[in-house]
Amino acid sequence: MKQSSVSVLFFLAVLLVVAYPSPAQDSVARTASTRETRQVKVITSGGFTAAFNILGPMFAQATGIEVITEYGSSMGGGPESIPVRLARGETADLLIFNGRAFDDLAATGHLRTASRVDLARSVTGMAVRAGAPKPDISTVEAFVETLRAAESIAYSASVSGTYLSTVAWPELGIWEEIQPKTTRVVTERVASVVARGEAEIGFQAMSEILPIEGAELAGLLPDELQQVATVVVVMTEHMENPEAARKLVEFLSSDAAATVVQSTGLMPVALDEPPGSR
């Protein structure tokens, strides 16, 4: 780990220890029931996974609150997607997902909608295999040419891919032309498919491309086509540990956590707000 990353993590850990007393510092009696509530279960979508895989353990170490983490896409019919998990009766204290899925998930009755907190903004990029040429997609014209020239194209079954396949590509008039060489990736990261050489190029949130070994970010969608999404965290109606969940939400949306969030390819909402407004 780079020295700068170590410094950031140490700084955040210190802040957490000050903000959230550890079990040894906690004055609450250590009854069995209290120990049971010192945990929080989170289901996070791919866009926030890299950030949460750093921040979740930090929060747990500083507070003594166990963080149980599971993963699922914001939408789509995959067996591990958040909508499918909820439909089959799975529960969690917190859900982290692309805000474009908020209304549909809220309609299921599983969310405490008023608890929504915006964490970060996400943009869509294109992945290529590590070491491969990086085609130009900086303009709409170049983007279209790259799509036409590619032998195979992968796209996400979640929010970013749904937008491309149902809005952007049809509106550009190229969907029927390129559809036969596209693959809708349901159960894994698009960049993983690209890294294995099963697709020449692939499209997904930048934060989901960057962590994948064997794949590289070739560029972002042109501004005219970019659909900036918001990553949100929401408490659920089935929440078992509201106090632990509240503390975790406060941390994830804090200025301190923003540095880690930004390092994973997301734009933290915390950095957009003027000082003293939080």
Question: Are 155 and 161 a contacting pair, CB within 8 Å?
Answer: yes
Q: Say yes or no: 9 and 46 in one domain.
A: yes
Q: Say yes or no: 59 and 137 in one domain.
A: no
Take residue 104 and report the two structure tokens written for it.
Answer: 């549909």
**Domain final position from 185, 201, 220:** 220
Residue 11 within a domain: yes
Residue range 83-116, pLDDT digits in tens:
999 999 999 999 999 999 999 999 999 999 999 9
Please name the helix (run of DSSP H) or strand (run of DSSP E) that holds residue 169, with its range, or none. helix 169-172
Mean pLDDT of the chain: 88
- What CA–CA distance (Å, rounded) separates 235 from 257? 19
Q: Say yes or no: 114 and 252 in one domain.
A: yes
Q: Say yes or no: 169 and 152 in one domain.
A: yes
The domain in which residue 166 lies consists of 124-220
The pTM for the full model equals 0.80
Residue 168 within a domain: yes
Residue 225 within a domain: no
Which of 27-41, 61-75, 198-212 is predicted with the least confidence, judged by mean pLDDT? 27-41
Residue 277 within a domain: no
Residues 6+ apart with CB under 8 A from 192: 212, 214, 215
Give the CATH number for residue 139.
Answer: 3.40.190.10
How confident is residue 77, by pLDDT bands cut at 50, 70 and 90?
confident
Q: Say yes or no: 212 and 163 in one domain.
A: yes
Q: Say yes or no: 8 and 139 in one domain.
A: no
Is the pLDDT score of 254 beyond 80?
yes
Is the pLDDT score of 18 beyond 70?
no
Q: What's the number of domains the chain is made of?
A: 2
Residues 6+ apart with CB under 8 A from 227: 124, 160, 163, 167, 168, 221
